[in-house]
Each structure stands twice: as C-alpha cells, then as structure tokens.
A and B are shown apart, each in its own frame.
Chain A
Amino acid sequence: AMAEQKFRVRARALVCVFVCVVMCGCGRDDFQEELVIRPLHSGDIYTSFQFRTLWETDFTRENKVSHYRLFPKSLGQVISKFSVRELHISFTQGYWRTMQWGQPYLPSPPGAELWVWFQDSLTDVDGTWKELTNVLSGIFCASLNFIDSTNTVQPSASFKPLGIGNVTDHRFLRYATLPREIVCTENLTPWKKLLPCGSKAGLAVLLKSEKLFHSSFHSQAVHIRPVCKDDQCKTTSWELRQTLNVVFDLHNSGQGKNEWSLFKMFSRTLTEACPVASSSKIYIDITDNSQGEQFELSPATPLLSQAVVLGDRRTFSVYDLTQQITFGTMRSLNLLIRGKSSDMLRPLLHAERYVAGYGLQTGEIHTLMYNNHPYRSFPVLLLDSVPWYLRLYIHTLTVTSKGKDNKPSYIHYQPSKDRVRPHLLEMLVQLPPNSVTEVTLQFERALLKWTEYTPDPNHGFYVGSSVISSLVPSIVAMDTNNSRERPLFSSFFPSKEESSYFVRVYTEPLLVNLPTPDFSMPYNVICLTCTVVAVGYGSLYNLLTRSFQIEEPSPGLAKRIANIIRKMRGVPPL
C-alpha cells in the first residue's frame, strides 16, 4: 500500500509537471473549490459549495478560442457567440428565511433567475437575448425558452455589473425570472458536468441529488464575469463560479438529533481533493464557539482562518483537502458537528411581500422592508417586475415609514403593454433606523384569452420576487482590497468602501388567481344550442311540411280471425 501510494503521488506529480509544461504557452487557468458549513441556531445546517475557474483568455478576439481545459467549452462558446460580458443564472427550490437563517452568502430568488450584461459592441440585444435563453435552456435542461419580452425587464439602477467594466448603460442589461421553474436532478446533472472533475473527485462527490433535494432550501447558480487578474488590475481574466447552497432541515434529514456529519447530510464522505484544483478547502463557522461550548467538531483541525463576510468578522476552522493528513488513517474525511449554535444577530435588512384584498377583480400588493439597525438609516433600491395581467394603478402607490409618508428620492416606472412587456418599478427609498417601511400598490386582474391559460389555471399565476439591493452598514471594516487570497465566499460582491457592504434581499413570489373561465362551457353551449335548434326549428319544420292521412286502425285479433273465416265462407268482412 505504501509503495502504491508513493507511486500514485509520483505519477500525479509527473502529470502535473507535464501539464504545466504543456500549458506554458497558453493562458493559465486555475480551479479552486471550497465548502462552507454554518450551523444555524434553529438546529438546521447551511452548506455552501463554491467552485471557481479563472482563465486568462479573451473570448472577444477574432480567432476563436479552440483549446479548453478547465473552463467548460459549452459556456465558453456561449460567451463568445453571444457577446456576453456577464452572465448570472440561478435555479432555486424553496425560499430563504432571513429571520431564521440570517443572510445567505449568495442570495437567489425562488425559481429561475437570469440576468445578463452584454458587450457594448452588440447591436441587436433583444434578438441575442432570445437566442441566449434558448441555448441556456438546452444546456441546463430547464424551460428557459419561456423567457420572452413579457417577462424581461431592463432595470435602470439595480443589477450593476459585478465584474470589472466601465460601461453601465442599462440598454445592455436584461433581467428575467421564472418563479414557477422547478429544480430537480435534471438541472443538477448538466451543472455537475460543467465542473472540471465532474462529480468523480473533490467536493463534488458529495453532490448526490437524493439528499440535496430533501432539504428546506436548494439553490444552484452559475456566475460568469471578468475579474482583475491581480492587485494592479491591469489585465482581466474570466471567472466562472458555480455555487450550490443547501439548508438541511433538522427534522427532515437530521432525524431531530443535533448531530450533523458529512455522511448524514450527503450520504458520502470525502476521500481526495480534485487533482486539478489549486486549492480545496472546507470552512466551518465557529465564531460562536470559541471555547467549544456550543458544539464540538471532529476530527479536530489546527488550521484557523478569519474572514470578514456579511459585515462581520467570522472565525472558521479550515480543513485543507490537498493535504493528505486531513484524511487521516482511514483515508476518508467525515466531519462531525455535534451540538447547536448560539442565537444569531438579527439581520439588518429583511423584507416581506403579500397580496391583500378579496375577490377576483382587484387586489393590493404590500411590500414590507424592515430596517433593524438601532440608529443608522440606509438607502435601499426596490425593483418590482409585475406581469402585464395585473394592471397596476401607479397613482395608488404609497410608501410609509413609521406612519409618515416617505417620498422616494428616485422612481423609475415603465408601464406594461398587454402581451408585450411587464411593469417595471424601481424606487430608491431611505429606510429610517429601527422601522418598517410599507409600500402598497393597487392592481386589477385582467381576463386572458382562452388559449393563454395554462393546462392547470386554477393553480394560479406567479409574480416574481421583488429585489431589494442595499448598502448596509457593517459592524467591522470591510476589506476593499479584492485580492485573490480571500476565501471565495467572502469575495463575491466587490466592496468599494469599508463602512458598508452590499446585500441583496429577495421577497417571496406571489401567487394570484386570475378570473378563470369555465372551459367546459363551449361543450355545454354547443349541446344546448343544438337542442334548442332541434326542438324549435324541428317543430316548425314539422308543422309546415307534415301532412296527415286518415288510416284505418288495424282490427283486433278476434276480429281478424273472424274476417278470415268470413272470407273463407265468402261473406263480406266486418
């Protein structure tokens, strides 16, 4: 076994050297994987996988890129063919409960969400958007081809590019959500195939669908953007991040015991890191557990790391999978976390949304935004995209905080056009400290054409989540350096100033019932009309054309026999 192990190490080293020699001439690509585990105070556990591939190459130049190594070819071709500058797509099942679980590292709305920044050299953005959604629906096995002009908007102030770039003209931005999109294994399978190691080695071994979908929240996303290559930021490289966030429920998958392990969560243990990964780490959030009084971690690890994430300085225990010693004598790593985490701080920004009213004609959308900071107020940008069949009356828009009217400093409203585009409402609202801000808007429901109803119209129609983007004051100074040494989960949103960090909160999607016609009525009407016509016209026709003839009634049996006998006798009949 020792000799075999030595041979394997040597073989791997040889392969690495060979690969490095071959790669010297071309742009370097780099792959990192990490897993962050955060026990939540309700006993649930939040795990977040991040896989990042960095590649210095230029997709926009004339000669097409022909040699792909770690970067998946399908996405590279999409970027170069459709002149994409940034692409963010996420598939989520479940709703993130901010009040119980805190803020996620990467927020995402229920269903599917796609937003894309195109290069400014592109002339026909709408046509390219349509083709891009069709191609992505084939890559991810999702019905993204339902994204068309009726659910696409161009936000004017939200969704600024997350990568580097000077152009922020919102003509090149498109945003669409499909709140009804289902996420299942058929979306996970192509997502896993985009990883360099697939699901055969490294952290992706843990991604087994039977356990991942038996959870309270499951979100998988792909983010592509250009980033700085180094601190000087003179050249750019393309970054592909694949993220997967799961929240396992204590009672559903944990059987009620406050004991989580990798095997219990994923039904697998780790045996090796991905061979092409330059770093492969597991971070466990132990900030509330400095003396080990809340929960214990086994096997113990000496590595500790601190990172500023979501405005707070957190401490993490680190397991480095590229070191053989992490796997111990059993050559497999099964982390065990026993115990509960302490109460968490209330999140500073939180939002809810619901539909009020009764009946199938009118209604009211209420959005509540909570600012839980005791003394600081901060601005939030609210983006609402409502489908055309809910006709909004924008003159009924009211924004109130603490009972008083709160006038937004910026409103951008684009009215809808029936069957062409949805409503778009963007507002910049200043939330006073320790308050609830309520935004209300009345609407009227439209009657659709009978072919536009889905096969199950009584399920209802979905309205996508509102997006609330904000710069929330942070407790500790944020790191504005954006160097590459930070763990992946803390370096997703770039921070420009130290006193606040960027956060995006999604509300619930709404489910509204539209007035639904009775689809059996055409059949009923045809039957009724035919009956009426038959009875009415038929009777009239009979009356006009029927003629009566007198006919002798046929005599009874006795009389007939008597007639026969009389005929035989030759006597005239009765």
Chain B
Amino acid sequence: YVRGIFKNLHGWFINCLRYLFCCFQDRAGQFFSSGHTNNWAVLVCTSRFWFNYRHVANTLSVYRSVKRLGIPDSHIVLMLADDMACNHRNPKPATVFSHKNMELNVYGDDVEVDYRGYEVTVENFLRILTGRLPPSTPRSKRLLSDDRSNILIYLTGHGGNGFLKFQDSEEISNVELADAFEQMWQKRRYNELLFIIDTCQGASMYERFYSPNLMALASSQVGEDSLSHQPDLAIGVHLMDRYTFYLLEFLEDIHPASKTNMNDLFKVCPKSQCVSTPGHRTDLFLRDPGSVLITDFFGSVRKVELTMETINLTDPIEQLESAESGELQKEMHTYADQLPVSEIIHQKPKQKDWHPPDGFILGLWTLILLVFFQTYGVKHLKHIF
C-alpha cells in the first residue's frame, strides 16, 4: 500500500517536473519564436481639411500607443496630410483630442511628424515602402527596415471599394498596395507585416494581397461605411472614428510585457459598438495568430542575446590641438558691413556667364556667311582680307 502511494507520488513528481520543464521550454520557445529583431511603424493620415480632424486624431492615437510601447521616433514614419493642431480653427492650439470634453491630448509635447501637408502623396507613400527615395532624403523620412523587421502600417482616411483617397486629389488602389508589399517581400524589407486600415469599405484594400507574412485588419467590410464616434461641441467636429477609438482603448491596457495576442485584437469593436463589421485576413500569415503577441507589432521589445566572447575596442581618436603658435601673425577679422551704401551704388553689374549664341542668331550668321562665300568664293577672300 505504501509502495503504491510512493509510486503515485513518484509518478506525480515526475509529471510535475515534466510539466515545469515543458513550461519553461514553451516560454523560452515563445521568446524566440517570432524571429524579428526590430520594429517599424508607418502611420498615414490621408485627409485634408478641418472637418477631417478625426483622421488626424486616429493616426496620432496609434502613434501615441506605439511610442508608449517602446518604438522610438527614429523607427516611426508619421505622415499627416494636414495640420489640425495649429490650425487657426482649433480653439485649443497645439492639441488634438481623441475623447470629448478634451480628456486626452493625443498630440502631446513630444511629436515628430516626418511627412506633412502636401508631402503626403501616393508617390511618397509607395517610395517609402519600397525604399526608392532620392539620395538626399534624410534618415527620419526613410523606412530603413531589413528582413528581420516587423512593420506596422496604419492607414486612415476616406476610401471606397478598392481605393483610398489621398488629399482629395489622387487615389491609391488595392492592386498598387499589394504590388508594393510584394516588392517589399522580394527585397526582403520585412519579416512580418501588420496592416490596419480604418476607412469606409476598408476590407477591399486587403483583398488583393498575395505576399507571405501579411496580416490585415480593416474597420469595415465591402459595402459598409466606417462611422465616426462622437463630436465635441467646443471643437465642432467629430474627434475619432469608432474603430480606432475602441482600438485605442484596447491598446491603453497593453504594456510592454503583456501577453495579449492577435485574437484579442480581432475582437476589438464588434458590430454592436462599431456599427460596421471589422474584418481581418490571416491566410497569408505563417504563424498562428493566437501565438502572435500584440507587442510584436505595436511595441519594440528588444531581444538580447548574451555572448561570452571578448571584443577588442579600437583606441579612441585623439583630437589634435590646433596650433596656437601662429596666432600673433594672423590678421584681425572684422564683421561685414550690413548696408554698405556706397559699395552698393557703385556695384558693377554681375558678369554674365558667356553663353554661345542662341539658335536664331546662329542661324542668321550662318546664312550671312553662306551668302558671302557663295558670292565671293573662297579664292577671292584674300582680296577682301
């Protein structure tokens, strides 16, 4: 009897150990399962004019969450098509609110907008995604992702079946977007990509994707409109769209160490709250969405790998002191005269660079020379000259 109990205990103990071991392995496995080493975010608001305040507020609230969860400004490309915060219609300048009664200022005091105003065009957006930017573009305006980057792309604005309107003057179609993502895949510019779109008929934008490792969410299905949430009577416009409003509420509960996964994100804003039906697409994604953490895309959880090898650092650069000995021989510098009247009046006209004569003058001279040579012939020239 005692032996039986002992055997049970032994078995139970072994099971416990095995369970703990599997647990640790699972956790360790989970830690390294996602395979990305850095995070990027491209957040775009495509609408202009004051009554589209809510689109800017949408983008800024996602920006705020993404920054709070750890992605630095250097890894965020923020594109706002119009300025709402310092717009002259804004009763509270330098603020953009997401909740009525001005509860939450999503603009904040520390914001860096990379593309603003007229720079937000379809061409610039596609150039950022594919990396084909002119050589003088500064680093903050580039998406410098590599094959181990997880990218979050968020688009908001006015859209329709298969297109998204940029700035009231041009459109991007779902085919163009799908092709851009394929270019990114072929150039190994992303590890995994999460695409969120909050427009009317948003699901049409992800219908045409065909590259692997893409997950997409939209705020409404084809044929449905995404609705805005609530107006603020002091500001006079609608402050946020419903889908992003509930997305913001969901993200406010996430902190860098949270374990919430994508299945919870799919449940954000059901039809009762959103009036439209949010959709998602995961067939191109290789991992199971239940094992994908929210912080894989919205946060920047760094994975540190320990190494035991020693690394030799080079000697620091010695800054040479500039020679002070020749000081006495130097002449005295002076400030330039700000308005040297006499100099200006007697200023010679700028020497124009010599240009070869223009077409008409050249033709006229050619004609004169031809007639001259025809009349007199070359042989008789010596009489003339």
List chain A positions with a Cβ less than 8 A from chain B: 25-27, 58, 61, 63, 65-67, 93, 130-131, 134-135, 137-139, 141-143, 145-146, 156-157, 160-166, 168, 182-186, 189-190, 208-210, 212-214, 228, 232-236, 379, 381, 409-410, 428, 454-456, 469-471, 482, 493-494, 496, 502
Contact = CB atoms under 8 A, between A and B. Distances in A.
B119 A145 contact: yes
A165 B140 contact: no
Given A184-B94, A455-B167, A141 B330 contact: no
**Which one of B94, B114, B335, B347 has the highest number of Cβ atoms from chain A below 10 Å of its Cβ?**
B335
A163 B338 CA distance: 10
Given A130-B136, A134-B138, A138-B138, A471 B94 contact: no
Contacts of A164: 333-336
Across the A-B interface, give the 7 residue pairs with the lowest CB-CB distance, nearest first. Answer: A138-B138, A184-B86, A494-B335, A213-B94, A134-B136, A186-B113, A164-B333
Contact of A428 (B114, B134, B344): B344
25 contacts: A27-B322, A131-B136, A134-B136, A134-B137, A138-B139, A138-B141, A139-B138, A141-B113, A143-B119, A146-B118, A162-B336, A162-B338, A182-B86, A184-B86, A185-B109, A209-B109, A210-B93, A210-B109, A213-B93, A233-B333, A410-B344, A428-B341, A470-B339, A471-B338, A482-B335
Given A164-B334, A183-B86, A234-B332, A469 B94 contact: no
Contact of A234 (B111, B112, B333): B333
B103 interface: no
A137 B119 CA distance: 12
A210 B96 CA distance: 11
A379 B322 contact: no
Given A160-B338, A182-B116, 9 more contacts: A63-B319, A131-B136, A134-B136, A138-B138, A161-B336, A186-B116, A236-B333, A455-B169, A494-B335
Interface residues of B, number: 56
B48 interface: yes
B201 interface: no
A165 B335 CA distance: 6
A65 B320 CA distance: 10
**Which one of A156, A161, A189, A228 has the highest number of Cβ atoms from chain B below 10 Å of its Cβ?**
A189
B339 A184 contact: no
Contact of A409 (B108, B320, B345): B345
A161 B114 CA distance: 31
B94 A455 contact: no
A236 B334 CA distance: 10
Contacts of A185: 85-86, 94, 107-109, 111
A234 B330 CA distance: 6
A190 B112 contact: yes
Interface in B321-345: 321-322, 327-328, 330-341, 344-345
A135 B335 contact: no
Contacts of B339: 160, 379, 381, 469-471, 502
B52 to A, nearest CB: 12
Contacts, number: 160
Nearest to A229: B333
B313 interface: no
Contact of B321 (A25, A66, A228): A25
Interface string B125-150: 00000000010111111000000000
Nearest to A163: B335
Contact of B327 (A134, A161, A235, A456): A235
Contacts of B332: 232-234
A151 B234 CA distance: 39
B308 interface: no
Nearest to B332: A233
B176 interface: no
Contacts of B317: 66
A398 B72 CA distance: 56
A185 B140 CA distance: 17
Given A26-B319, A189-B111, A160 B340 contact: yes
Nearest to A186: B113
Contacts of B139: 138
A234 B339 CA distance: 24
A379 B140 CA distance: 45
B86 A210 contact: no
Contacts of A236: 333
B333 A184 contact: no
A161 B335 CA distance: 8
B138 A135 contact: yes
Contacts of B115: 143
B95 A410 contact: no
A233 B48 contact: no
